[in-house]
Amino acid sequence: MAVYTQLIETDVKTLLAEFNLGELVSYQGIEGGIENTNYFVTTRQSNSEKQFVLTLFEELSEDEMPFFVELTGFLANKGIPVPAPLKDQNGIALKNLSQRPALLLPRFPGSQVTQLTPHHCSQIGDALARMHQVGRDFYLNRQAHRGVFWWRRESKNIASYLSTEDAELLRQEVELFDELREQPWDLPSGIIHGDLFHDNALFENNQLQGIIDLYNASTGYLLYDLAIVVNDWCVQADGSMDSLRLDALLNAYAAQRPFEANEDKAWPVLLRTAAMRFWLSRLISLHGLGENRYEGDQVIKNPEECRRILLAHIANTAELPVS
């Protein structure tokens, strides 16, 4: 269950009136999210029905929202398949419902894929690279709210809840990334999605239709974003990589954004950093630590999955196919 904030019909009707989208037909909470509350909203206007997604933000404050409004609009205008928020009759996108920031978004067709193939991985590699390329021209910056300063702090806070070995593993991986940042490699940076797991991509007839949930987007190493994607889209049950999916994703990515100098050196480290980051966030959720703004039960994913991926990377040094 991931509908943390319950809305009544009057709330939704009042919002829709500001957008002149017709009458409300139905609204339904969407299960499966982690950080936000989402509803499917259907309206009828001139005998035609349209569907939207209404998102209420449980973690992000209203002051943080303009970055995401501007980013999704920018990317959509550049042809990247992301949902840009609708603007009301006065040109305003950002709303407030139940004391939470809210956006009304178009609903893209398709659904998440559970059986990933090289074909799916090739498409997401291509789309991610195109997003990275156009995002380098985006005019705003944002520090990740779960980036380097966060994992330095939280890895220490959670250490007492872990075995000695796991606490040391976390410390080691945080230190490894700090060492990477000190290298004179000038790794390419720009806008990153930050959370492009396969449940944040929509496919219809095995064709990519949309990339959603950009609310972990920030400014960071482009290769780190790619590592996050690889660790989810190309992983096997034991934490190792499926070579066919991995090659398809990386080659499609490199066809749009060729890898630059020193990225091959950073790749093994960033694969580990990406696994560590999500292991840490899942551990925090599992142990009920950190700031919690939710009124309902939070969906908790298994941290052991990310730990297995991290250990597999430590055991097997990965290489970029194109450098």
pLDDT confidence of residue 33? 65
pLDDT confidence of residue 31? 83
pLDDT confidence of residue 294? 45
pLDDT confidence of residue 42? 97
Assess contact for 292 and 298: CB atoms under 8 A. Answer: yes
pLDDT confidence of residue 320? 84
pLDDT confidence of residue 321? 72
pLDDT confidence of residue 319? 80
- pLDDT, tens only, 228-273: 999 999 999 999 999 999 999 999 999 999 999 999 999 999 999 9
- Report the alpha-carbon angle 147-173-287, nearest 5: 70
In the chain, the domains with their CATH numbers are 9-106 (3.30.200.20), 118-315 (3.90.1200.10)
Euclidean distance between CA atoms 170 and 179, whole angstroms = 14
Euclidean distance between CA atoms 118 and 105, whole angstroms = 30
Residues of the chain with pLDDT under 70: 1-2, 32-33, 290-299, 322-323
- pLDDT, tens only, 134-147: 999 999 999 999 99
pLDDT confidence of residue 291? 57
Provide the mean pLDDT of the chain.
94
pLDDT confidence of residue 1? 40
Euclidean distance between CA atoms 201 and 195, whole angstroms = 11
pLDDT confidence of residue 148? 95
CA distances from 116 to 77, 195, 292 (A): 28, 17, 33
